[in-house]
């Protein structure tokens, strides 16, 4: 699980299987209307769950949208929860999510860009 700074937001990346790692910025704000890059390392056919939640009452999520669909599969498993399944072959993939809401910097939307490396077998 990846926790972001208290004034930002909490992103949970929980692998459905052991070979899913998501790394990204340590601080971000919804009101900044910025782009954030994330790297994902996983094994083909594995699944990662990406969840947007916050324990901070000053952070309110209002929507998540899939801006760019990956070659692999991405499905909603809740309003702020998505599950990405890597393609059946190794290589790279990319998808973009738009996350909107309000925080201490104001109201806005960010685009999260996920750069995925898919391995044929565990490292």
DSSP 32-101: G--EEEEEEEEETT-EEEEEEE-S-TT-EEEEEEEEE--SSEEEEEETTEEEEE--SSSEEEEEEEEEEE
* CA-based nearest residue to 96, from 113, 116, 84, 79: 113
Model confidence band, residue 121 (pLDDT cutoffs 50, 70, 90)? confident
Tell me what the pLDDT averaged over the chain comes to: 84
Q: What are the residue boundaries of the structural domains of the chain, listed by start?
A: 10-119
Over 70: is that where the pLDDT of 29 sits?
yes
- Number of residues written out for the chain: 123
Domain 10-119, CATH among 2.40.160, 1.10.10, 2.60.40, 2.60.120: 2.60.40
Q: What is the pTM of this model?
A: 0.83
């Amino acid at each position: 699980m990846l926790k972001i700074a208290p004034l930002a937001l909490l992103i949970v990346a929980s692998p459905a299987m052991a070979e899913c790692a998501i790394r990204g910025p340590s601080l971000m704000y919804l009101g900044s209307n910025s782009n954030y890059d994330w790297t994902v390392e996983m094994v083909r056919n594995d699944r990662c769950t990406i969840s947007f939640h916050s324990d901070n009452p000053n952070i309110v999520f209002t929507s998540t949208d899939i801006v760019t669909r990956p070659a692999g599969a991405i499905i909603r498993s809740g309003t702020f929860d998505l599950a990405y399944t890597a393609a059946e072959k190794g290589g790279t993939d990319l998808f973009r999510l738009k996350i909107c809401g309000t925080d201490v910097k104001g109201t806005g939307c960010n685009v999260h860009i996920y750069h995925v490396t898919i391995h044929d077998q565990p490292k």
